[in-house]
A and B are shown apart, each in its own frame.
Chain A
Amino acid sequence: MDELIASVVRGLGIGSTYALLGVGFVIIYRATKVINFAQPALMILGGYFTSLFATRAGLPFPVAVVAAMVAVAAIGALCERVALRPMVGEPPFAAAMVTVGVFIVLLIVAFRLIGTQVLTVGDPWGLSRTSVLGVSVAQVDIAKIVISLVAIGVIGVFLARSRLGLAMRATALDQEVALAQGVDVGRIFGLSWAIAGALAALAGMLIGTASGGIEATTALVALKALPVIILGGLDSIKGSVYAGLLIGVAESLTRTYQPEHAPFLGANFDVVVPYVIMMAVLMVRPYGLFGTPEVQRV
């Protein structure tokens, strides 16, 4: 039982970082109808900047995290302005290809910055453990869950309540009508990239905590966000959260139990679990768990 709870908590921890990445995808998709393949690179830069600010510049950890989020938000907005804005009016598929280009450029930058090091982000949790319902779990997993869900909650309230949030939702529904109301749609595109960048930076920090560390190749972890958004539906924030947590837990449970109970599936089977779940769900519900049926796929 303890093993099960520990495994679930670990899964929720990693799953909540997938959710953060997924929400970033969804926010950009809703505003621009483009799938942003550059998200993993933004994540890795977030880990890098957190490390830079916290361990090398010696800023207090929370300040370093916020500074990293701001830095990556700015990078995201800049990418949008320079690479994606000229694509407005072009087919979403072409724009998605441009984001692949942005991904490669940013990844090269990240490789230059990080080199072959493994960076620590200077988080305060380390390997310490705490007790939940009498079960010992890693503090960092609790931190991942709480921080991710709070961040996503803040975005949710911003979208639901604020004036800019309303403008973002209006833009997602009908760009021409939003324009006619005086919404600067281009600014909304930039804002959505900035938000996605900030969330990706936060995910990068969380993935780099404790034993993890950040390497240039950690970017590959963010690919798991693809099954998350496809499972959750490209246009649903709630869907991303549930799908992220679900995939995280499934992955963790597989890692815990599969070597013992289903060894014939081979080593590291947990790595493919997200994709297996994605395919299984898509066979039943082609538009994901929470997606709107008519949403177009790229």
Chain B
Amino acid sequence: MLAVENLEVVYEDVVLVLKGVTLEVPRGEVVALLGANGAGKTTLLRALTGLLGVHRGSITKGSVTLDGAAIDHLDAPHIVAAGIGQVMEGRRIFAEFTVEENLRIGAHTAGRAAVQSGLDRAYMLFPALANRRTQLAGYLSGGEQQMLAIGRALMTEPAYLLLDEPSLGLAPLMVRRIRDLIGEINLQGTSILLVEQNAAMALSVASHGYVLETGKIVMDKPAAVLREDEDIREFYLGLRDEGAASFRAVKHYKRRKRWLS
């Protein structure tokens, strides 16, 4: 289990962004983390993967444990080696590398033997990448780049995969494919923490969901319950029972509404 307990994160020694976050990703599950812009989702992932330092952030309180062992003091390479892979926000593939080089760099901490099996697996999961392996990754479409980013993260065969808004900027069809792929990767044995603003997508594949708002977890429920939750439906799914007549009012309300205020 990947567990975050009472985590506080500060940027530049002054900006308190996570204010005591507690969250669990049990083995074998897909867990969704929802939250509006600036809620601190990416910050949480940075804290989990040892990337806070790059952004002048640091953990000031709380703990991160992987199967009971503290990992919050580890640097990024050791966290990757411990079995946590990630797909960063905005894909962040190496546009100047070929598709295959992007995958190979993902296997940096894996043994030499793992590279070939990782490549085979990636091309099996993403056939679109297989016949473009020598092409520069910058020329791939947005959806293909997202697949490449996921494939790259899978090269180390991580026990846990953290995904930061994989649906961002993709058309509905592609979002559905990414969703299906997440389900498939999970079935193959990888536990997943799925950060999303697209609640419909995230809750349709997750078993459990958290809602993060300005650095605090404000909801922590099974995905099935969240799917039916009034506030979630309204706030993230854009659904409201009164119908579309008061859409403007809804938007206004949506913008102002905060669960914690």
A184-B92 in contact (CB<8A): no
User: Does B81 count as interface, using CB distance less than 8 angstroms?
Assistant: yes
Is A135 at the interface (CB under 8 A from chain B)?
no
Interface segment out of the listed B58-66, B98-106, B234-242 = B98-106
Q: Is A52 an interface residue (CB 8 A)?
A: no
In chain B, what residue has the closest Cβ to A173? B94
**Is B49 an interface residue, CB under 8 A from the partner?**
yes
- The reply on A255 being an interface residue by CB < 8 A is no
Among the stretches A120-128, A137-145, A161-169, the one at the interface with B is A161-169
Is B105 a contact partner of A179 (Cβ separation < 8 A)? Answer: no
Q: Are B88 and A180 in contact, with the CB atoms below 8 A? A: yes
Q: How far is the CA of A289 from the CA of B227 in the complex (A)?
A: 59
* Chain A hits for B86, CB < 8 A: 180
B112 / chain A contacts, CB cutoff of 8 Å: 163
How far apart sit A163 and B155, CA to CA, in the bound complex (Å)? Answer: 14
Q: CB within 8 Å of A: which of B46-82?
A: 49-51, 54, 56, 75-77, 80-81
Interface string of A232-276 (1 = CB under 8 A from B): 000000000000000000000000000000000000000000000
B19 part of interface (Cβ distance < 8 Å): no
In this assembly, does A211 line the interface, its C-beta being within 8 Å of a C-beta of chain B? Answer: no
User: How close is B157's CB to chain A, nearest CB, in angstroms?
Assistant: 13
Contact A178 B105 (CB under 8 A): yes
**Contact A167 B51, CB 8 Å, known A179-B76, A180-B86:** no
Residue on A nearest B88 in the bound complex, by CB:
A180
Contact A175-B108, Cβ < 8 Å, known A180-B49, A181-B80, A182-B76 = no
Question: B161: shortest Cβ distance to chain A, in Å?
Answer: 12
Q: Is the CB of A181 within 8 A of B105?
A: yes
Q: Is residue B214 within 8 Å, beta carbon to beta carbon, of the partner chain?
A: no
Q: Is B49 in contact with A166, judged by CB distance below 8 angstroms?
A: no
| Cross-chain contact A163 with B54 (CB below 8 angstroms) | no
B96, CB-defined interface residue at 8 Å? yes
Are B108 and A173 closer than 8 Å at their CB atoms? no
Contact B94–A182 (Cβ < 8 Å): no
The answer to whether A182 and B109 touch across the interface, beta carbons within 8 angstroms, is yes
Which residues of chain B are within 8 angstroms of A163 by Cβ–Cβ distance? 104, 108, 112
Known: A163-B104, A174-B92. A182 touches B156 (CB 8 A): yes
Complex alpha-carbon distance, A178 and B106, angstroms: 9
Select from chain B the residue with minimum beta-carbon distance to A89.
B56
Report if A170 contacts B (CB, 8 A).
yes
A183 at the interface (CB under 8 A from B): yes
Let me know if A167 and B108 touch, CB within 8 A. Answer: yes
**Is A146 an interface residue, CB under 8 A from the partner?**
no
A180 to B87 alpha-carbon distance, docked (Å):
9
Q: Say whether, besides A182-B81, A184-B77, A170 and B51 are in contact (CB < 8 Å).
A: no
Judge if A150 is at the interface, Cβ distance under 8 Å: no
| A167 with B105: CB separation less than 8 A | yes
In the complex formed, the residue of A with least CB distance to B78 is A182
Tell me if B51 and A166 are in contact (CB < 8 A): no
Docked CA distance A184–B75 (Å): 9
Cα A89 to Cα B50 with chains together (Å): 16
CB within 8 Å of A: which B106-161 residues: 106, 108-109, 112, 152, 156
CA distance A166 to B96 in the complex (A): 12
Q: Is A176 an interface residue (CB 8 A)?
A: yes
Among B50, B56, B75, B106, the residue within 8 A (CB) of A181 is B106
A295 is an interface residue with CB less than 8 A from chain B: no
From B109, which residue of chain A is reached at the shortest CB distance? A182
The yes or no answer to B11 lying at the interface (CB within 8 A) is no
Residues of B within 8 A of A176 (CB): 51, 54, 88, 92
Shortest CB-to-CB span from B165 to chain A, Å, is 15
User: Is the beta-carbon distance between B54 and A177 smaller than 8 angstroms?
Assistant: no
Contact status of A170 and B77, CB under 8 A, knowing A176-B51, A180-B49: no
A246 to chain B minimum Cβ distance, whole angstroms, is 26
With beta carbons under 8 angstroms apart, the residue of A166, A173, A175 that contacts B54 is A175
New A-B contacts (5) at CB < 8 Å, excluding given A179-B50, A183-B108: A166-B101, A176-B54, A177-B92, A180-B76, A184-B77
Can you sample 9 A-B contacts with CB below 8 Å? Answer: A170-B105, A173-B94, A177-B94, A178-B105, A179-B51, A181-B106, A182-B81, A183-B105, A184-B75
Closest 9 pairs (CB-CB, A-B): A182-B80, A182-B109, A179-B76, A182-B77, A182-B108, A177-B92, A184-B77, A176-B54, A170-B105
Residues of chain A at the chain B interface (Cβ within 8 Å) = 89, 163, 166-167, 169-170, 173-184
